[in-house]
Amino acid sequence: MAFFANLKNKFPISKAVSKGVNKAKANPKVAKGLSVGGAAYRKVAMMKLGTPILVLACLSMITLPMPPLLLDMLFSFNISLSMVVLLVAIYAKRPLDFGSFPTVLLLTTILRLALNVASTRVILLHGQDGSAAAGKVIEAFGNVVMGGSYTVGIIVFTILVIINFVVVTKGAGRISEVSARFTLDAMPGKQMAIDADLNAGLINQEQAKQRRAEVTREADFYGSMDGASKFVKGDAIAGILILFINLIGGIIIGTVQHDMSFSQSATVYTLLSIGDGLVAQIPALLLSIAAAIIVTRQNNTEKEMSQQVVGELFAEPKTMYIVALVLFVMGIVPGMPALAFLSMAALSAGIGFLLKKKKELDKQKQEALAAMPVEQPPIEQRELSWDDVSEVDVIGLEVGYRLIPMVDKNQGGELLSRVKGVRKKLSQELGFLIPPVHIRDNLDLGPNYYRITLMGVTFGEAEIQLDRDLAINPGQVFGKINGIDTKDPAFGLDAVWILKQDNDKALGLGYTVVDSATVIATHLSQILSNNCASLIGQEEVQNILDIVARTQPKLVNGLVPGVVNLGLLTMILQNLLNETVPIRDMRTILETLVEYAPKSQDPEVLTAACRIGLRRLILQDIVGGDNLIPVITLAPDLEKVLHKSLETGGANGIGIEPGLADRMQRSLYEATQNQELSGEPAILLTSGILRSTLSRFVKNTIPGLRVLSYQEIPDDKQIKIVYVVGNNDTQHQKLH
């Protein structure tokens, strides 16, 4: 005690603990909290030690002698545990709700085998003392099943083993094997589906992580069940061997060592062996049934097994009427037990009658609810107002009546979630919130048609096949597939509407296969990307400024509206988006305007300055992180002509004769095609004066060509001139 007292004085932690204990004694609430915490700690400790204690107990039962009373208690515990496992398997809504079942199956099998070994030792050592030598449980099971006949006892035990081993265990093992193989084969497809939903914006990172963990848990569970079914199979074989060992060994020991007659020895040891085998086989049969239920369950999280089975068995009253008729016919056949068959026929007919009444009542309730008049508010005659003028939708999607199920979640429609994913993806890429898409049906459209509008103007329209998938030819396929020939509405590629069962064949031939909802979502994404400048207005720009002002208030307040008004800033951002430049980096844009706006209020000049400030972001979107940039340039003589033409002006913004403009356009188109075929980006590098004009010149005719100025190339990047477009022979010259 003195040692502990010195230890307490030396260490301040001990003093703090002692002080806390004293406070707990003084304060009942604190004392209660410490008591609850201690109880919780003891509970967790017992849970952690439960499995090791069970394993050690099994080893003790195998090696140490067990008194009959303890054997009775352990056999009762084993039967109770098996019933608990069976009931948990029945009430689980899906297999993964009982994910620890393979481990439980292993532990219960070890416990049962350990009890078999312990009871075998007692039977062989003390069987000469009578039928109660191994406990009351074994004696009772032996007397009830045998009924005074050894043959009956052995036959009943054999039947139980056959039911367990041949019927239940073999079937459950086969299902476990097939489920494990199919689950493992489906894992890559499930992982790809999760990645596709994540990329489309349908789920977030946390949801994707949870779904991946769920897929892994499912594969681990069915793989474990495939192996756990072998435990039950081996346990059944062990039960047969232990029975014959007890029977034969007991008769030999009784007649040789204890001078018992053969009939007396056979009576005692047969009773003990049969009782011991039954006490082990009944829990084994319960666990086999539990394993079979688990592996045959569907992943239905809404209903328990009993609800699902009853709901499906008694769904139609006519089924019970047919059963009642068959039983009635069998009951009136001479020689048949009429009471049994006719009573069951009456019961089946009664159940069918009750089911029919219930079905009719449910139908009447639905009809009554549907026919119930909906109280409409009285229509008041009022003067027209601005509320009667409908606004034009910024983004509209109209569908024909056959495509309505695509936008109805109750009918499994996925179009709403796909459109939401498109908006989220474009908003992150461009740097501003894409307005909501107003989806409605339009009876003026064809039944399978849809239409995409911006500001009330139609930008895209196409026909789709709701019950088919679209197989798109990416440029090289290895065969032709049967279907309805069409064009991909988003990019104009050759495509075929195919049956859903031909998806694998189309993928094998090199086609890209997408469903109808993805076709519409891709078309919408392509239209919004090409016309993103028209989606941003002063309201959206003000929202962007409000967000930037949260972190950089001085930058925003010093620029708008003192230096640049909201209208001019909106025009600059629209110019950038019109040239496919994202506006995510608003800090750089605003700082550039702070520097250049006091010198000029020309939106073209300020847009060019912002492009120079964003030059690294622009190049990253085009070439990634490459330091060597392949470019197409104009011949010096051609640039001089264009400079003079720009000073002169003209119908196309460049005052050159149409023939030269057409030849130059064809040369740029050919150069762009060659760059795309070689896997490199197409970049036209020119002077800052010509950049915006040439960008408008090629925007709609050569969409893959990006026009940059010399000032937009960072100093640490190198250029490689791959084509020079001349003005004499109107053909581009490739540099080697």
DSSP string, 170-237: HHHHHHHHHHHHHHHHHHHHHHHHHHHHHHTTSS-HHHHHHHHHHHHHHHHHHHHHHHHHHHHHHHHH
Superfamily grouping for domain 390-533: FHIPEP family, domain 1 (3.40.30.60)
Helix (H) or strand (E) holding 122: helix 101-126
* Residue 610 pLDDT level (bands cut at 50, 70, 90): very high
Please say whether the beta carbons of 98 and 222 come within 8 A: no
Please say whether the beta carbons of 421 and 201 come within 8 A: yes
Express each pLDDT in 391-443 by its tens digit: 788 899 999 888 888 888 777 778 888 899 999 999 999 999 999 999 888 88
Query: Collapsing DSSP states into helix, strand and coil, what is residue 437?
Result: strand
**pLDDT at residue 15 is higher than 60:** no
* Candidate from 16-20, 214-218, 222-226, 253-257 with smallest mean pLDDT: 16-20
CA dihedral 215, 221, 223, 225 (to 10 degrees): -150
C-alpha pair distances (Å), 544 with each of 316, 530, 590, 665? 60, 21, 11, 38
Residue type, 114: A
For 140-157, letters b (16+ CB in 10 Å) and e give: bbbeebbeeeeeebbebb
Confidence at residue 4, expressed as pLDDT on a 0 to 100 scale: 39
Of residues 256, 244, 263, 246, the one with CA closest to residue 124 = 246
Helix (H) or strand (E) holding 408: none
Confidence at residue 426, expressed as pLDDT on a 0 to 100 scale: 92
Confidence at residue 302, expressed as pLDDT on a 0 to 100 scale: 54
Q: What tokens were used for 27?
A: 């304060």
Cα separation of 325 and 346, whole Å?
Answer: 9
Confidence at residue 34, expressed as pLDDT on a 0 to 100 scale: 40
Query: Collapsing DSSP states into helix, strand and coil, what is residue 714?
Result: coil
Q: What kind of fold does domain 536-613 have according to CATH?
A: Helicase, Ruva Protein; domain 3 (1.10.8)
Query: Collapsing DSSP states into helix, strand and coil, what is residue 468?
Result: strand
Q: Give the dihedral sign, CA 713/714/715/717.
A: negative
> 139-143, 273-277, 381-385, 516-520 — which one is most confidently predicted on average?
516-520
Task: Count CA atoms within 13 Å of residue 117 on its CB side.
Answer: 16
Express each pLDDT in 519-559 by its tens digit: 999 999 999 998 999 999 899 999 999 999 999 888 888 88
Confidence at residue 29, expressed as pLDDT on a 0 to 100 scale: 45
**CATH placement of domain 615-736:** 3.40.50.12790
